[in-house]
Amino acid sequence: PTSALDPISTNKIEELLLGLKRQFTIIIVTHNMSQAARISDNSMFMFLGELIEYNNTTQMFTKPQHKKTEEYLTGVFG
C-alpha cells in the first residue's frame, strides 16, 4: 500500500495500520516482505491462485512449512 511513497509517509501509513488492526481485520497485498513482517500478525502465501501457506507471520518468515513459501521468501523465485 506504500510502494510509491517516501519513507516518512510510509512510516505514517504503517503506524495508522498498526492502530487500525486493533479494531479491524485488514488485508494487504504486498511484495514487500519487510513491511509485511513489521505490520502483520498473520500472513498467507498464494501462488498461481492457490493458497500455499497461512500462518503466524513470525513463524512463516522464520520457519515456513512449505518449500514453495521458503523459496519465495529466500528469493529463489518471485
Report percent pLDDT > 70 for the chain: 100
Cα separation, 7 vs 50, whole angstroms: 32
Residue 45 near residue 53, CB atoms below 8 Å: yes
Give 37-51 pLDDT, tens digit per residue: 999 999 999 999 999
The predicted model scores a pTM of 0.80
d(CA 1, CA 11) in angstroms, rounded, equals 11
Copy the grid coordinates of residue 60: 512463516
> CA of 15: how far to CAs of 6, 7, 50, 56, in Å?
14, 12, 30, 20
